[in-house]
Each structure stands twice: as structure tokens, then as C-alpha cells.
Structure 1
């Protein structure tokens, strides 16, 4: 009997996919089903996936983003528990058995798993898990207010939206929930917003057994402003859909989140304009939202400091 389905949405992932699949196959204490959905890759991702016996591989005709690929995998999944694994990440062998055990102990419909940032060679980054016991404790039950409050795009608190989830499939099916395919990032977070609004019991697993690959960054690697706008639009649709059942505090938190997302979007637009030496665009953005200039200055200073630190300048 299959205990859990591991879903891997993959796009141009031939270089990293094998390690992810191997870690999925190595799960202990359960019998896993592994479904790879190739999001219309332009490389040999699907061919690489098909070299693993027993792994189910599907391929989208058009590139739809991770949400579309995961929705296809949800359609194909047969297990009661569904776990998300990115194509460049890996997972420790006991992760799913531990998360399922916690879900059964707490009656959870969703378990959010802690992770350790690692370099491509598997070395821990800064040697610590994403969440510490000072942030949240193991088995903590989250309300919608709690979850929105912990997804405010702030630098001083870890965002729970980064945690990779385990879903109870029967809950998703009963409530008709799936990923928002307009989103190219934040899709897990928004599905959990929906689940909480539908009454899901969501808990946190503090075991840092998901290995999140962090590749060397650069000042040139920025968030896509269009993707941020899609998040803002998705938040608006969520508020309109559930406005009669949301608390005043939840609505206030979403308003704060919108402000933070808008600030981020304007900052990314300004940085893009700086790179293109588009002075008129820069002035237009700063005039419309003056605090963007402060945010951009801080971001660029932090980016330069990180680059100097990597070079051991100080």
C-alpha cells in the first residue's frame, strides 16, 4: 500500500533532478509513490526522470509554472499524504514518516516542514535550520491569522511560506483545493491560505529534514515584479472570496502584506531601471512611492556587503 506521494515539479532540471529523486526513493518507514511532472522543459529533464524504475513521469505540453505542474501531479497522486519536493532540493530519509506520524498525532490536514539551507554540494549554510525553537515549537497549531502574520515579507522574521508542506489528499479533494496557476512563486503559501480558510488543521514540524538548495547569489538575481504583482492579485481574490468570514485582524494583516509586497515590487522595478540606466523611470517610481528610494538603497548596500563578505574582504 502506498503511504505518501512525493510530487516533484521540474523545469530544465536535468542537472539536479537525480539527487532529488534518489532522496525521495530513500524514504524509510513508508512506501512512497514518486510523481515527476516535467513543466515543458527544454532540456532532458523528462528523459532523466524516466531512467528511475518505478517513478511516474508526466510532461506538460506548455510551460505553466510550478503550480500547473503540481496540480497535474495532484490529479495523478493516489496516496492519502502528498509531499512537495523541489527538483533541486533533497530530503532526509525519515522526513515523511516523521511528518505523517505528527499529522496522525495532531489530526492535522497540513504539516509544514522545517528545512536546512544547503549549498549545491550539500554543505549546511551558516549551520542552522530555517526555524528555531524561539520562532515556533514542534506541533504548533496555526490559525489563518497566525499564518498571514508570518508571511509579511519582512527581513526580521522567517516567513512560514517557505516551508514545504505535506497535505492530506482527502482534505484537498473534499474542499476542491488546488494550486493557483497564475502564481510563479508563493504558490504553496496561497494554497495553505485557502486550506486554512476552509478549516484545515495546520501544524509545524520543527525537524529540519528538508534540504533546501541555495545557489550562490548575485546582485543581478532579483525577484520578478510581474510575479509579485500576481501575488498581490491573488491576495485580492482571496480577500474578496472570503471577506464575510475573515476576522478584522486577518483583513488588517492582508492590508499590511499588500503594502510590503507593493514596496518590494516597486523596489525591484527601480533596481531594474537602475541597471538599464533609465533615469526617467527611476524618478517616476521614486516620485510615486518615495520610500522606495530608501528600500533600494538598503537592498543594494546589503547585497554589496554580502558579496564583500563572500570574498573575505571583512
Structure 2
């Protein structure tokens, strides 16, 4: 029984898969297994996965018969996983070698069923430029996130941070006992919904200040091609987990604010689609909604913050390079 099972849903990841797998197999002071599920890739991903597994007993490769999306692929891997801890790893990301050991120790110390670290993003075309997803905290210590925190920090517009992008580790026993699986009908936000299910089942979620997960920012990724239908489907799936009749007031307010932000973003996507398709009458009708302009302002502010973070990271990388050359 391995300590950690890594689940990798792979689609057209021929050029990045090897680095992801190598980083999982190189985890220190823990035993691991890696389960790759190829989601009918159109490139050489499946062949690459089988090549990596040829002389590696810790690596298992499964192949979907039809493309069903990352949620279905992760569910298939989850059904196979034997580890005490379940870790999600995207096929184009990679991990620091001490990540699993550190997070498992923290989870055991705090009695947590979910544990995650901050992640650092890097540009696909400039891997030396990295910046953290979550803002740095002054106390720099682990902290817990409950349902209210999780909803408030993941509003689709206006949230102060995006915990749904984190790649947590989960207690395998907790997931199995509570029947927590991925919602396969979701095309976006499946990781967020998965964590929400675990929190609704009573899991304790702890976040460490470390940055052990490296997230590749790929231009044109699925998460950036939002549609109103996908957003509405995610909001409905999340609503089904939250019984408002039994909510305490704080949770009820957080759920309502999350839902309102989802509707705002769906309305923005409809407006953007109408403009892109030159449906000017439909675009004009949507433009009369006062909340649309607030949503656009929030998204522009978020984009500006993200660009500032990238510029700062680029400046730091250049400064480090100059110091290295001078030294």
C-alpha cells in the first residue's frame, strides 16, 4: 500500500508528461504510485506514458475508450488508487521532491483530511519566471479553510484569491468512506466542486505556506475558454451540495454571494460571445444590465493584478540572472 497515489489525467501532454511523472516518482521519504489515464489524446501521450511505465512498477497506465474530460479520467484513476493519500497532478505541471512528505506530516499533525500548499505559476515560454497564486501572508504559518472561507475565496468575480486552483492531497480513507468522487458533467471547476464535496462531508482543510507545486500557465487552456453554459452547470452542481434550509447565516450568505458571482460571470460570457459573433442587438441588450459593467471592472482589475505579478516575477528573474553573471 503506497503512502501517496498520484492521479494524472492526460490529454495531449506528450511533451510535458515525463517531467510530471518524474517529479511524482522522485518524492522523498514516501512510497508512491502514479496512475496515468489517457483521455484519447491526439498526439503521442499514450505511447509516451506506456514507454515511461515499461520498466517502472510504480506507474500504471489506463486508456479511456472515448474522450470524457478530466473529471471522468480522475474518477477512473481514483477507483484504482490504493494510497493512504490521493494527490492530483496535472500532466503539464511538476512537484518539488519534499512536497508529499511535508504535506502528509502537516495533515497528520492537524488531523486534516485535505491538505494543500500554495502553488507557483510559470510561463510555458519562460519557465524561469515564477509567481505565487495566493498572496503571501504575514504570519507565514499553516491555516485552515472552512466552507465559508472556501466559497468566499473562490467567487468567480470579486474573490480575493482562488483556492480552487490549488492541487490538494486527500485522505484516501476519507474519500472512500464518504463516496467523494468527481462530477463528470463539469467541463470547468471540477477540482473546486470535488473539494466542496469533501468539505460538505466534514473534511478539515489545511493550507501550508510552502510553494511545492509548479503550475504551467499555458496559453489557450480550457480554463480560459469559459462559456455561460459551463458556468451555470458548475453553479448548479455546487448548489446541489448546499442545503440552504440547514445553513447557518454566514454560510448562507457565502453561498448566495458565490451564486451571484457565477451568474454575473455567465452574463459577461454571453455578452462577450454576442460581440464575438457580431450579434449586436443581443450584445446591446446585455450591455444594459448594470451589473455587467461591475463584472467587467472586476475582471479587468484581476487581469491587471495578474500582469503586475508577472512583471514583478520577470524583473526578479532578470535581477537574479544579472547577479549570477556578475558573481
Assess, with a 3 A threshold, how the Cα gap between structure 1 residues 300 and 274 changes in structure 2: closer, same or farther.
farther
Separation in 2, partners of 1:294, 1:98: 41
Contact 1:235 1:254 in 2 (8 A): no
Separation in 2, partners of 1:304, 1:273: 24
Alignment of 1:261-272 (within 5 A): 261-272=262-273
Show the counterpart of 2:12. 12
How big is the shift at 1:91? 0.8
Show the counterpart of 2:205. 202
Alignment of 1:150-299 (within 5 A): 150-155=153-158, 157-216=160-219, 222-239=225-242, 242-287=243-288, 289-296=289-296, 299=299
Q: Find 1:103's aligned residue among 104, 107, 126.
A: 107
Separation in 2, partners of 1:301, 1:202: 29
How big is the shift at 1:140? 1.4
Instruction: Provide the secondary structure at the position in 2 that maps to 1:33.
Output: strand
How big is the shift at 1:293? 3.9
Separation in 2, partners of 1:229, 1:210: 29
Give the number of aligned pairs: 303
Assess, with a 3 A threshold, how the Cα gap between structure 1 residues 124 and 65 changes in structure 2: closer, same or farther.
same
Query: TM-score normalized by structure 1?
Result: 0.88
How big is the shift at 1:280? 1.5
Which structure's residues are more often helix, by fraction?
2
Contact 1:273 1:282 in 2 (8 A): yes
Q: Find 1:93's aligned residue among 87, 90, 97.
A: 97
Q: Find 1:146's aligned residue among 143, 149, 154.
A: 149
How big is the shift at 1:236? 2.2
Instruction: Provide the secondary structure at the position in 2 that maps to 1:238.
Output: coil
Separation in 2, partners of 1:62, 1:229: 25
Assess, with a 3 A threshold, how the Cα gap between structure 1 residues 245 and 113 changes in structure 2: closer, same or farther.
farther
Gaps of 5+ in 1: none
The ranges of structure 1 where at least 4 consecutive aligned residues each deviate by more than 4 angstroms after the TM superposition are 297-307
Instruction: Provide the secondary structure at the position in 1 that maps to 2:206.
Output: strand
Separation in 1, partners of 2:86, 2:302: 38
Alignment of 1:295-306 (within 5 A): 295-296=295-296, 299=299
Gaps of 5+ in 2: 312-327
Show the counterpart of 1:123. 128
